[in-house]
Chain A
């Protein structure tokens, strides 16, 4: 049993969004078993409000802009989910992700009894699903990689190369845009957006030869001064996103995406064993190198 939480951490909400997405890709059986059934068993069903879940979500989105409505968002999200349970599995998935997203934006929502209860309900089922996926991902990856075309694997391993001056100009303008967007988001204290912007940028460019690491580090440091724990939250967000991409690649047989994710993870976290998913990803990497050796692909990859 999970220890009782007073607040749902933003990283956990983000991680659970990726879990819901992976569940959706794993099929109706998994989606029902690990999401629908636990919610049904907890009594999150059968609320008749007369409005469809999607329409309610649109309404909540409008209301969320008004601070005086903030305390009403979590109970309403619960009602949306209960409604969606009756509608369809895709709508259920949307409404669950909707609630997790809202938790990341407002403390009043992440610390609400509904949010804490919601996480309590899903903690064990999601953990079971993650364990199940991790256990079979090794064999799925091995199977998928043995089928992959050599050229596809080669392109998956190649980092972004910015050889031309035009590309470098593009990267310069990207970092400027990142500064501007973060400045704007931080002005409104939109920390989740700042984290998302930085996370996307780092994942996209960190293995680039022209990656402006010093500038990015300064930005992260500045954000961390304003919001304690920002840097750790960012690292966690990046690890969650990369693990999602890797697992998604494995589940979909998209080995190129999985390999790209592994390589980016290696570059970004530089062997820090405290990083989330460190051992799971390392296990996949060993399988990858084994396959490359067996397929005698080292020379064509260089």
Chain B
């Protein structure tokens, strides 16, 4: 689908950088995600929570990028989590076995508290 869009904004909470994702992550929008993560990591911010509350769709292209970021973050002794995913996105993460690698939380607050 060529019309997919992804908007990303950034906030800080409890020592974590929160990336709020709004839209779809597929082959066309995944570079936007990669850029956003790279920018955060360049600033040596290695504790990241992805807010998926407004994310409608994620493909393996997006999961691939998240997986690569997770490896980088782990390598730098940082922390990463996902919060607020809707059922379909949550299901996709589970079926792709990504939920075994990263903590998935109902809310940002819980993610900050537990991570």
A residues near B, CB below 8 A? 157, 159, 262-263, 265-267, 269-273, 278-279, 281-283, 285-286, 289, 292-293, 298-299, 301-302
Is B110 an interface position by the 8 A CB rule? no
Q: Does B68 contact A (CB under 8 A)?
A: yes
B39 part of interface (Cβ distance < 8 Å): no
B95 engages A301 (CB within 8 Å): yes
The 10 A-B pairs of least Cβ separation, nearest first, read A266-B60, A270-B64, A271-B64, A282-B27, A298-B91, A271-B65, A271-B61, A271-B30, A302-B94, A270-B68
Q: Is B63 an interface position by the 8 A CB rule?
A: yes
* B34 interface residue per 8 A CB criterion: yes
Please state if A289 and B30 are interface contacts (CB–CB under 8 Å).
no
How many Å lie between the Cα of A270 and that of B65 in the bound state? 6
Using Cβ atoms and an 8 Å threshold, which residues of chain B touch A272? 64
Report which of A159, A267, A271, A281 forms a contact with B34, defined as CB distance below 8 A.
A271
Are A262 and B60 in contact, with the CB atoms below 8 A? yes
Complex interface: chain B residues within 8 A of A157 (CB): 95
Secondary structure of the A side of the interface?
helix
Contacting residues, chain A, for B60 (C-beta < 8 A) = 262-263, 265-267, 271, 285
What residues of chain B lie closer than 8 Å to A265, measured between beta carbons?
Answer: 60
Say yes or no: is B114 at the interface (Cβ < 8 Å to chain A): no
Complex contact B61–A278 (CB within 8 A): yes
Instruction: Name the distance in Å between A266's Cβ and chain B's nearest Cβ.
Output: 2
Complex interface: chain A residues within 8 A of B92 (CB): 289
In the assembled complex, how far is the CB of residue A134 from the closest CB belonging to chain B, in whole angstroms? 14
CA distance A159 to B28 in the complex (A): 26
Q: Which residues of B contact A266 (CB under 8 A)?
A: 59-61, 63-64, 96
Known contacts A263-B96, A266-B96, A302-B91; A282 and B64 CB within 8 A of each other: no
Residues of chain B within 8 A (CB-CB) of A301 are 91, 95
Q: Nearest Cβ in chain B — how far from A159, in angstroms?
A: 7
Contact of B63 among A159, A271, A281, A298 (CB under 8 A): A271
Q: How far is the CA of A99 from the CA of B57 in the complex (A)?
A: 44
Contact partners of A269 in chain B: CB under 8 A: 64
Q: Distance (Å) between the CB of A279 and the closest chain B CB?
A: 5
The A-contacting residues of B in range 1-31, CB under 8 angstroms, are: 1, 26-28, 30-31
A285 CA / B24 CA spacing, docked (Å): 13
Q: Which residues of A contact B26 (CB under 8 A)?
A: 282, 285-286
Residue among A272, A292, A301 with the highest chain B CB neighbour number at 10 A: A272
Contact across chains for A270 and B1 when beta carbons are under 8 A apart: no
A273 and B61: CB pair below 8 A? yes
- B67 CB-CB contact with A under 8 Å: yes
Q: Which of chain B's residues have a CB closer than 8 A to the CB of A293?
A: 88
From B62, B95, B96, residue with most partner A Cβ within 10 Å: B95
The contact string, 1 if C-beta is below 8 Å from chain A, for chain B 38-49, is 000000000000
Chain A residue nearest in CB terms to B95 = A301
A282 to B65, CA, bound (A): 14
Instruction: Please give, as numbers and ranges, the residues of chain B lying within 8 Å of A267 by CB-CB distance.
Output: 60, 64
Closest to A270 in B: B64
Tell me, in angstroms, the Cα distance from A279 to B64 when the chains sit together.
Answer: 14
CB B24 to nearest CB in A, in angstroms, measures 9
Chain B nearest Cβ from A14, distance in angstroms: 23
CB distance from B9 to the nearest CB of A (A): 21
Distance of A298 Cα from B61 Cα, bound (Å): 19
Which A residues lie within 8 Å of B91 (CB)? Answer: 298-299, 301-302
Interface residues of B in 53-95 (CB under 8 A from A): 57, 59-65, 67-68, 87-88, 91-92, 94-95
Cα(A302)–Cα(B68), bound, Å? 23
Interfacial chain A residues near B68, Cβ < 8 Å: 270-271
Residues of A contacting B88 in the complex (Cβ-Cβ under 8 angstroms): 289, 293, 298
